[in-house]
Amino acid sequence: MKWRLLDSGNPSRRTTTIDLNAALEPYIGPAIVGLIIAVLLLLIAIVVQGWRLRRVGRRLDGLTRGTDGGSLEAVLDAHLDKVFAVARELDELAARSAVLEANARRAFQRIGLVRFNPFEDTGGNQSFAIAVLDAGGDGFVLSSLHARGGTRMFAKSVAGGRSEASLSAEEAEALRLALATPVDRMRSA
């Protein structure tokens, strides 16, 4: 292909012919090699992007599993609803636990037992004193005196770890043993 150029600065208006094929021919080989390299780089970029897209798709499928193709927003809403439901249940359980702990503090959980022989003519330590207390030290002391002619029982109330009535040595020891029994920390909290 030949092009003609007009020389406008020359009064005789000479024309010059330029052979474009001859001018571009030395650059065609390197241009083709450059284009092939660019195409290969673009193909590699397409493969890498496809791999990344599949990975993101798998992650999205993992996040939305069990939702029958629902949107991520629907999945997050469902999860938030579950979180709020669990929080409400936890609050209910905490309230129920507080009630149970308060009731447990009033349950008998400290016991002290002393067996003894109050009379010389009987044997085997058939008599006893037992102190039964709750976590606050409230309860009772029960004494049983066994003799050949019969058995007598006595009960004395205890409030705050102290008896309102006078205690025998055995009853006082049973009360001391009961008070020395550790209270379950879970219930006393």
Give residue 125's identity as a one-letter amino acid code: N
**Residues 115, 94: one domain?**
no
- Compute the distance between CA of residue 41 and CA of residue 48 in angstroms, rounded to an integer: 11
Q: Which pLDDT does position 11 carry in this prediction?
A: 54
**Residues 80, 131: one domain?**
no
With CA atoms as reference, report the closest residue to 137 among 173, 166, 180: 180
Range of the domain at 76: 67-103
**Residues 84, 149: one domain?**
no
Domain end point (choices 52, 82, 103): 103
Tally of domains within the chain: 3
pLDDT per residue as tens digits for the range 25-52: 888 999 999 999 999 999 999 999 999 9
**Residues 99, 116: one domain?**
no
| pLDDT beyond 50 at 189 | no
| pLDDT beyond 60 at 155 | yes
**Residues 97, 135: one domain?**
no
**Residues 76, 90: one domain?**
yes
**Residues 115, 183: one domain?**
yes
| pLDDT beyond 50 at 188 | no
CA atoms lying within 13 Å on the CB side of residue 136: 12
**Residues 114, 182: one domain?**
yes
**Residues 71, 25: one domain?**
no
**Residues 58, 72: one domain?**
no
Q: Which pLDDT does position 149 carry in this prediction?
A: 81
pLDDT per residue as tens digits for the range 99-120: 998 888 888 889 999 999 887 7
pLDDT per residue as tens digits for the range 59-94: 877 777 766 656 777 778 888 999 999 999 999 999
- Compute the distance between CA of residue 87 and CA of residue 78 in angstroms, rounded to an integer: 14
Cβ atoms 79, 66 nearer than 8 A = no
**Residues 118, 146: one domain?**
yes
Helices (H) and strands (E) counted in the chain, each on its own, are: 4, 7
**Residues 114, 180: one domain?**
yes
Indicate the SS3 state at residue 83. Answer: helix
Could you tell me the CA-to-CA distances from 160 to 40, 118, 136, 142 in Å, in that order? 90, 28, 6, 17
Domain end point (choices 103, 127, 161): 103
